[in-house]
């Protein structure tokens, strides 16, 4: 095993992302000591009984004291309060990062609290599942996924490189971009898909003419795909919607405009327009599979996963 990258890593928040980090840090030997803190007593106890770290702290300040790397993994709406709380305990020279799905808002909330001499480098691993909490994490979560860093003007290149090295050891590829661009990209690749998924599941749940039991029984014809994203953590997604409002509203407007075009083509029986659009979208999936970002098996490999012995 290679040298530990850090003496002490503090994980503030130990849900899906935090606990996946804890597991990969252990597996790869990335720290001599992992200090874990959570606002929720239940979550902290669970993390302790899963032995996710070396020390467990109800007070985030006790976790981050003496830490060389502090990773905040909380819903983006809580970033400001968490930064305010732990800032006074940060060690000079420490790297402070986060994993939030929005970046401009997190920077606006956290940066004002960061003491001089601490390297604040916002980040966002593009990885997750629909499950949440310390039990949901797994060490392979970041493997072959991208991690986007959005360093601030004047960020120390050495600290950025050290954080990038950490994510690479966790299995990720690294990109850097400015926070505004990140928020626009994520609005289309992540935020809009989740909102649309929540919405369609809500629409189906509200029907009178089709029963809930029918929706469930026949869901394998398409609907069930959407229920996965729509089963994601409500607190996280409420916060994303509130904290990336402008980019999300822009993408929603484009989506609705395109949908109106499609709807009109259906109403007027314009088969050629439908065919053209349904053909063009096929290529996008092929590119995603070729880029190694999707499994090359029909139906997300559900059949393989359901019968692993075959």
> Which residues from 213-272 bind its own copies, rule CB under 8 A?
214-232, 234-235, 237-239, 241-242, 245, 248-249, 251-252, 254-256, 258-259, 262-263, 265-267, 269, 271
Q: Return the number of the residue (5 or 192) whose C-beta is nearest its own copies.
A: 192
Subset of residues 31 to 60 that bind its own copies, contact rule: CB under 8 A: none
User: Whole-number minimum distance, CB 27 to its own copies, in Å?
Assistant: 14
Instruction: Count the residues of the shown chain that bind its own copies, applying the rule CB under 8 A.
Output: 114
Show contacts with its own copies in window 81-140 (CB under 8 A).
101, 126-131, 136, 138, 140
- Which of 175, 176, 178, 179 binds its own copies (CB under 8 A)? It is 175
The three-state (H, E, C) secondary structure of 13-30, written as one string:
CCCHHHHHHHHHHHHHCC
Q: Using CB under 8 A, which of the segments 87-95, 107-115, 151-159, 196-204 binds its own copies? A: 196-204
Question: Which CB atom, from 3 or from 279, has the smaller least distance to its own copies?
Answer: 279
Residue nearer to its own copies on the CB measure, 70 or 247: 247
Stretch that binds its own copies, among 83-91, 112-120, 150-158, 195-203 (CB under 8 A): 195-203
Token code pair at residue 308:
């692993």
For the CB of residue 150, give the shortest distance to its own copies in the complex, in Å. Answer: 13
Residue in 29, 84, 156, 293 binding its own copies, rule: CB under 8 A: 293
CB of 82 to its own copies, least distance (A): 18
Q: Whose Cβ is closer to its own copies: residue 89's or residue 104's?
A: 104
Q: Which is nearer to its own copies, 86 or 197 (CB)?
A: 197
Of the two residues 45 and 212, which places its CB atom closer to its own copies in the complex? 212
Looking at the Cβ atoms of 1 and 306, the one nearer to its own copies is: 306
Burial of residue 42 (number of CB atoms within 10 Å: 0-12, 13-18, 19+): exposed
* Residue 306 binds its own copies, judged by CB under 8 A: yes
For helices 234-243 and 245-267, the axis angle rounded to 10 degrees is 100
Torsion of CA 261, 262, 268, 270, to 10 degrees: 110
Report the nearest approach of its own copies to the CB of residue 54 (Å): 27
């Amino acid at each position: 095993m290679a040298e530990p990258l850090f003496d002490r890593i503090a994980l503030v928040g130990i849900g899906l992302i935090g606990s996946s980090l804890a597991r990969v840090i252990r597996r790869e030997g990335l720290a001599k000591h992992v200090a874990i803190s959570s606002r929720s007593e239940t979550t902290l106890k669970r993390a302790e009984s899963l032995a996710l770290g070396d020390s467990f702290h109800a007070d985030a300040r006790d976790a981050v004291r003496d830490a060389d790397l502090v990773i905040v993994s909380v819903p983006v709406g809580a970033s400001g309060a968490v930064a305010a709380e732990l800032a006074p305990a940060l060690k000079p020279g420490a790297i402070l990062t986060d994993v939030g799905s929005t970046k401009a808002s997190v920077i606006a909330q956290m940066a004002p609290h960061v003491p001089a001499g601490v390297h604040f480098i916002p980040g966002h691993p593009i990885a997750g599942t629909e499950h949440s909490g310390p039990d949901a994490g797994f060490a392979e979560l970041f493997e072959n996924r991208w991690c986007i860093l959005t360093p601030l003007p004047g960020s120390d290149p050495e600290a950025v490189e050290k954080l990038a090295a950490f994510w690479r050891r966790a299995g990720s590829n690294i990109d850097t971009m400015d926070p505004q661009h990140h928020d626009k990209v994520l609005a289309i690749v992540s935020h809009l898909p989740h909102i649309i998924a929540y919405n369609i599941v809500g629409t189906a749940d509200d029907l009178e003419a089709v029963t809930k039991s029918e929706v469930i029984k026949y869901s394998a014809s398409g609907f069930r795909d959407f229920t996965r994203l729509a089963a994601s953590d409500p607190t996280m997604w409420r916060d994303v919607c509130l904290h990336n409002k402008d980019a999300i509203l822009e993408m929603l407007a484009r989506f609705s405009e395109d949908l109106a075009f499609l709807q009109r083509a259906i109403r007027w029986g314009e088969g050629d327009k439908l065919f053209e659009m349904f053909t063009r979208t096929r290529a996008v999936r092929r590119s995603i599979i070729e880029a190694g970002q999707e499994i090359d098996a029909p139906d997300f490999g559900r059949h393989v996963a359901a019968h692993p012995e075959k």
